[in-house]
Every structure is written in structure tokens, then in C-alpha cells.
Amino acid sequence: MSATPDTAWPGHERGTAGYRRMQWALFAAGMACFAQLYSPQGVLPLLAADLGVTASQASLAVSAATGGLALSVLPWSLVADRIGRLTAIRIALVGGTGLGLLVPWCPWFELMLVLRVLEGAALGGVAALAVAYLSEEVSPRAAAVAAGTYVAGTSLGGLMGRIVAAPVGDLAGWRTGVSAVAALAAVAVVAFWVLPPEPRGFRAQRSSVGSVARTCREHLRRPGLMALYMQAFLLMGGFVAVYNYLGFRLEGPPWNLSVGAVSLLFLAYLSGTGSARVAGSLADRWGQLPVLLASVGLMVTGVLVTLSSMLPVVIVGLVVFTTGFFGAHSVASGWAGAAAEHGRSQSTSLYTLAYYAGSSVVGYAGGFAWGGVGWGGLVAVVAGLALAAGAWAVLALRGR
């Protein structure tokens, strides 16, 4: 059984002090979590060269953390039902950041992967609970825009992790680069600790593994919810695959770019920061499905454009692709929580599980397409996944 909200609490309305504090707090949480989760992605070529591993093996530095996160989201939902979403997120951020400061100084690749799994499992508390926490504390009318603000924080966090780690890594080594990101994340953790108002939409209630499993089974039997979870798996998997292997492509001929120069392409994440909020507002006005499908269409268009051999065109394609992904994620993540008639925490946890399972599985497996066929093979895989996600959405979500 999930926690029971205070039904008399209407939630913070847009424009109120409580709403602004919630937004800034969740923005900081998204920054801290995702900067650490993806900071190794910006230095994968450096990591591979330093540790003597292949591109697909190096990508495990990202997949290990996202895999640990995927495995932890349902346990975190159980914990949060007992101690509260806010307390659980605070614990998750402190634990994940502590591990993040240790990870880059591991002397062995295998040990680093183990600690990355644990780091991802800790940070899973943020990814699993942020939207559920928001849904309980913000009024339904303001939920879509507030969710867009949180997703904007995640996109900026992912950007910060990459554009800080890579240039610092070029100068002082990838270990120093990743450590610098963890130190900046610690500042964001302090902000999250002091910003949010006291929770009013949550009442603690004991949950059991059996009750959570039953709720999850019920959610998975609903075609609409299952379609939303598959948006997360398919779209996130393709998104991470593109960013995992783009650096390897651009450091080779004809461009021969340095890791620091390649990291500037991660500025495309800024387009996601804007599109996440815009998509939330448009979904309120036009409905979730049209905005979701338009965002998927942008992803397909953008990834096809990256096939160009001209670097400026590749950059344009990456921006369009990123804009589409964050728009789709903003809509689908908020919809997964709102569409659950009960067990909202479990629904958002299942969405998050699918999201990071896609990141881990497709993010790693995409290396085989890259290594065997090249960039064209990877683009074909990513475009196919996005088209499958769009078709699934049309079949299962029309009229909802």
C-alpha cells in the first residue's frame, strides 16, 4: 500500500513562496543527481585510454550507475512510503555524493564499476521519488510545469557533469575531472537540504514488499501505463547511446577533436532545459499525446541529421535530437505519475526503472552497433527505437 496523502491539502499553487521553493529545491536535486550520474560520459575516451579498455567497456562506467539506479527505484519507493519523500531524497543525495567523491580514485576498473553501481543505487532515491514528491506537494494545475522545471534541472545537471569533467580531465586527468563534478554536486545537495518547505501532502504508512509488488503488477497490466514506461526505456536508451559514442566518433577523422572540444557539444543539453518546460506547458494546452509524438518526431529527425559529415550540421542534429528527447521525457514522466489511480510512487518508480534500464542496456549495447557498423548503424538503431516508442504511444494512449 502506498502512502496516503492529506486529501485536504490542495498543493502549492504557482506564484506562491512554497511553490518557488519547491521548484528551486527540485532543480538543485536534479542538478546534483544527474551531474554525478553522467560525468564519466564526458571523459570516456580518456578513461578508455588510461585504463586500457574498449569503447563499449568504458561505457560501463555510465551503465553501471544507471543499472544500479534502475534496481534501486522500487526499494526507494518502499522506504519513502515509511519515512517520507523529502527525507528519503535527502538521504539519497548525501549517500550518492559521498560515493561520488570516492569513485574516481579507485585504482582498478572493476572496483570502480562496483562503486558506480552503489552510487547509482543511492541516487536512485532522487530519480524515483522527485516526481512523486512534487505530485503530492504541488497543485494538479501546476504539476506539469513544476515537473518540467525538475527535468530542466536534470538536463542542466547532465550538462554540467560533462562540460566540467571533460575540460578538467583534458588538463589534469579524467579522475580529477569527475572529482570536480562531485564537489560541485555537494553544493547543490546543501541547497536541497535547506530550500524545500515542510511536506504537507504526505502521511507515512507502512508498506510491504508484497503490497508494492501487487501495485506494480496492476500498473504493468494497464496498457496506457505500460506504454509510458516503454517511452522511458526506448527513448532514454537511444539518447544515452548517442551521447556515449559521439565522442569516439568526433575524436577520429575527419575531425580529430580533443575530449575538451567534444564536451562543448554537450551544450546541446541547454535545448533540453528549455524544451522540458515548454513541453509541460504545451501539454497542458494541447494534450499530452500530441506533444509527446511531436517530441519523438524531433528525436528521429535530429539523429538522422547527425549522419552528415559536416560538423555544424552534426551539431544542429544533436540540438534537435536533444530538444525532442527532453520534451518527450517531460511529458511522459509527469503523465506516468498522474495516470496512476493509486500507487503513484510505484508508478513513477516503474517509469524510472524503465528509463534507467534503457540507459544501461541500450547505452551499452549501442557500442556493438558503433563498433560493427559505425555511426550509421547506431543511428539506425536509435531511430528505430524512437519510431517504435511513437507507434506504441499511438496504439495505447489515444483518447487518454
Average pLDDT of 362-387? Answer: 94
Q: Is residue 1 part of a domain?
A: no
Greater model confidence, 47 or 77: 47
pLDDT of residue 332: 92
Give how many domains the chain has, as a whole number.
Answer: 1
pLDDT of residue 400: 66
Length of the chain equals 400
Residue 202 backbone zone (phi > 0: left; psi -120 to 50: alpha; other: beta): beta
pLDDT of residue 85: 87
For the chain, give the mean pLDDT. 87
Whether 88 has a pLDDT exceeding 60, the answer reads yes
Q: Is residue 2 part of a domain?
A: no
HSE at residue 74, side-chain half, CA atoms within 13 A, is 18
pLDDT in tens, 215-228: 889 989 999 999 99
**CA distance linking residue 360 with residue 85, whole number of Å:** 25
Q: Is residue 342 part of a domain?
A: yes
Q: Is residue 196 part of a domain?
A: yes
Whether 4 has a pLDDT exceeding 60, the answer reads no
pLDDT in tens, 329-342: 989 988 887 777 77
Which residues, other chains included, contact 392 with Cβ-Cβ below 8 Å and sequence gap of 6+? Answer: 227, 230, 231, 234
Range of the domain at 387: 17-397
Whether 3 has a pLDDT exceeding 70, the answer reads no
Q: In the chain, what percentage of residues exceed pLDDT 90? A: 49
Give the cell for residue 260: 575538451
Q: Is residue 4 part of a domain?
A: no
Q: Is residue 10 part of a domain?
A: no
Average pLDDT of 160-181? Answer: 92
- Which span out of 241-255, 274-288, 368-382 was modeled with the highest average pLDDT? 368-382
Task: Grade residue 144 by pLDDT with cuts at 50, 70 and 90.
Answer: low
**CATH number for 174:** 1.20.1250.20
Greater model confidence, 119 or 19: 119
Average pLDDT of 53-66? Answer: 91
